[in-house]
Amino acid sequence: MMDRPDYDTYFMDIAHLVSKRSTCLRRKVGAIIVKDKRILSTGYNGAPAGMKHCEELGGCLREKLKVPSGQRHELCRGLHAEQNAIIQAALFGVSVKDGTIYCTNAPCVVCAKMMMNAGIREIVYEDGYPDELAEEMLADSIIKVRKFSVKKQ
């Protein structure tokens, strides 16, 4: 019998691979948007294209200011992985409506709102993220949210 991963494991493994491109000094996050078992877009967290990364500028501003995780997103040069996956799809004219996003971490409130308006129907995440407002808003939305767990084969 073939040892073949189920689709959730397959897509989450790819999200982890995507996260390796991250330039963030605090947390490496990867996201992929899928529809009908096909990858539409990928994203990882880091500075906008063509901009210097935090490492090139002498470190993370949020670390220097001792900003807790999940707070004061405006004090970061980077975009989140989910934002970059949505933006990448838009840049190339790919609709993510009714798609599923696989992300190595649960979304922040900014990403959650973007996913709502982009028409994402499901979020599959592996690790948590300390953003209670995101959890509350997603609970009130039509988006299905589920925590990924490795299935025993």
Q: What is the pLDDT of residue 35?
A: 98
Q: What is the pLDDT of residues 122-147, one digit of tens each?
A: 999 999 988 999 999 999 999 999 99
- What are the residue numbers of the active site? 82
For residues 13 and 150, the answer to whether their CB atoms sit within 8 Å is no
Q: What is the mean pLDDT of residues 53-70?
A: 90
Token pair in block for residue 115: 């996913």
Q: Which amino acid is at 113?
A: K
Q: What is the pLDDT of residues 99-129, one digit of tens each?
A: 999 999 999 999 999 999 999 999 999 999 8
Residues 117, 97: Cα–Cα separation, whole Å: 9
Note the pTM of the prediction, 2 decimals: 0.93
Which residues, including other chains, have CB under 8 Å from residue 46's CB and lie 6 or more apart?
Answer: 21, 22, 23, 24, 53, 78, 79, 84
For 38, 114, 117, the CA distances from 85, given in Å and listed in that order, are: 14, 11, 14
